[in-house]
């Protein structure tokens, strides 16, 4: 009978072999760690493959983050929701990790349009360099540079999944015409090209720089950005076009916010509708011998009054630190003006 069935025999073996371990026991100890390692290694590989195969397409990977509290507002010092239920984006109102995951699952490509006409091409290098540092980091981006000087477009190193497309366009003698014809050009290229290449369009001014994170939290069907000079003002103080003859006319008793013409966007379809409508209104104004007080920005504000944006960006996304300082309500300054002499540049 074996050792387990004969305790006496077992004791005799242990006593006679005092100070020595049986060879088979020593062998087992030697192969045990190797066996455990192989089981763990192949078992992990099997479970990992099985997990990948069983994961539904588009499923969100497991993330650990603080639970949102229904009774605890994200910010108490600012308005975070418009009356038509569009979020107003401030620092502290979103979790960028969750949003990045959502937009990566959708394989989103973002187009960024910028106009570098005449001497404004001098701002392009800083604009692109800072965009590479802060704009839509980790996502696919196409920079669409509209310019009349393609040879002067700087060579800026771009990250993976990001590219620059130069679109050669004509210039105009007046800067006001350059500004207003942006709407026409964006509209035309949205129909001819952007619809096939990107999911969202962000339209920005070139004489700016990205100073902090600007990511997918801004993306929505249609977004506008609060003007830094008017975010505290009443509608009566807004510099809307007040002449009824203009297509940009907004009465004194109407208006939600005053939006900046230097930073707006949305899905390509919505940006196409916006820019096409603004261009048509500009053409009608010209035929009637009138020019809106703030040109394309006036028409943008009229459009967003009657086609409510689905997101509103706080002044963090459009700020002039030289003129306005850095108030405590602004947790971050994300997209800011570059000090310059506009008139000197326009006259070159």
SS3 249: strand
Q: Whose CA is closest to 144, among 169, 120, 126?
A: 169
Q: Nearest to residue 86, comparing CAs of 204, 179, 192, 224?
A: 224
pLDDT digits (tens, 9 = 90+) for 265-314: 999 999 999 999 999 999 999 999 999 999 999 999 999 999 999 999 99
Whole-angstrom distance, CA of residue 279 vs CA of residue 261: 14
CATH 3.90.550.10 fits 88-346, yes or no: yes
The alpha carbon dihedral of 122, 124, 130, 133 has a sign of negative
Nearest by Cα to 261 from 306, 230, 220: 230
User: What residues does each domain of the chain span?
Assistant: 3-51, 88-346
- pLDDT higher than threshold 70 for residue 48: no
Cα 92 to Cα 131, 207, 275, 316, 330: the distances in Å are 22, 28, 31, 12, 11
**Among 137, 143, 93, 140, residue whose Cα is nearest residue 115:** 143
Those residues with Cβ within 8 angstroms of residue 258's Cβ, 6 or more apart along the chain or in another chain:
226, 227, 229, 230, 231, 233, 238, 239, 240, 301
Partners of 142 in the beta sheet? Answer: 111, 163
For 241-251, write each residue's pLDDT tens digit: 999 999 999 99
Instruction: Read off the pTM.
Output: 0.81
Per-residue pLDDT tens over the stretch 308-329: 999 999 999 999 999 999 999 9
The residue from 184, 241, 270, 297 that is catalytic is: 297
Cα–Cα distance measured from residue 298 to residue 2, given in angstroms and rounded to the nearest whole number? 97
297 catalytic? Reply is yes
Q: Lowest-pLDDT range, 3-7, 116-120, 325-329? A: 3-7
């Amino acid at each position: 009978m074996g050792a387990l069935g004969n305790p006496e025999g077992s004791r005799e073996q242990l006593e006679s072999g005092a100070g020595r371990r049986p060879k088979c026991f020593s062998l087992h100890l030697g192969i045990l760690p190797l066996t455990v390692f192989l089981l763990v290694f192949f078992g992990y590989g099997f479970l990992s493959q099985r997990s990948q195969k069983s994961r539904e397409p588009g499923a969100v990977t497991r993330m650990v983050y603080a639970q949102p509290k229904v009774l605890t507002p994200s910010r108490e010092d600012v308005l975070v929701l418009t009356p038509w239920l569009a979020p107003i984006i401030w620092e502290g109102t979103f979790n960028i990790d969750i949003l990045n995951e959502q937009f990566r699952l959708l394989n989103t490509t973002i187009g960024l349009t910028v106009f570098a006409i005449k001497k404004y091409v001098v701002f392009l290098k800083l604009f692109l360099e800072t965009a590479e540092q802060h704009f839509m980091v980790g996502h696919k981006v196409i920079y669409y540079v509209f310019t009349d000087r393609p040879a002067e477009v700087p060579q800026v190193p771009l990250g993976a999944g990001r590219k620059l497309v130069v679109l050669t366009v004509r210039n105009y003698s007046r800067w006001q015409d350059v500004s207003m014809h942006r709407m026409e050009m964006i509209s035309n290229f949205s129909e001819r090209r952007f619809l096939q290449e990107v999911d969202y369009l962000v339209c920005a001014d070139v004489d700016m720089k990205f100073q902090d994170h600007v990511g997918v939290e801004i993306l929505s069907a249609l977004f506008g950005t609060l003007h830094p000079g008017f975010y505290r003002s009443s509608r009566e103080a807004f510099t809307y076009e007040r002449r009824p003859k203009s297509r940009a006319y907004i009465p004194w008793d109407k208006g939600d916010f005053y939006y900046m013409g230097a930073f707006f966007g949305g899905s390509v379809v919505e940006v196409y509708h916006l820019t096409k409508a603004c261009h048509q209104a500009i053409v009608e104004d010209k035929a009637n011998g009138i020019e809106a007080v703030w040109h394309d920005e006036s028409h943008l504000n009229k459009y967003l009054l009657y086609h409510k944006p689905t997101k509103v960006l706080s002044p963090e996304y459009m700020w002039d630190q030289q003129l306005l300082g850095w108030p405590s309500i602004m947790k971050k300054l994300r997209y800011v003006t570059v000090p310059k002499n506009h008139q000197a540049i326009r006259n070159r």
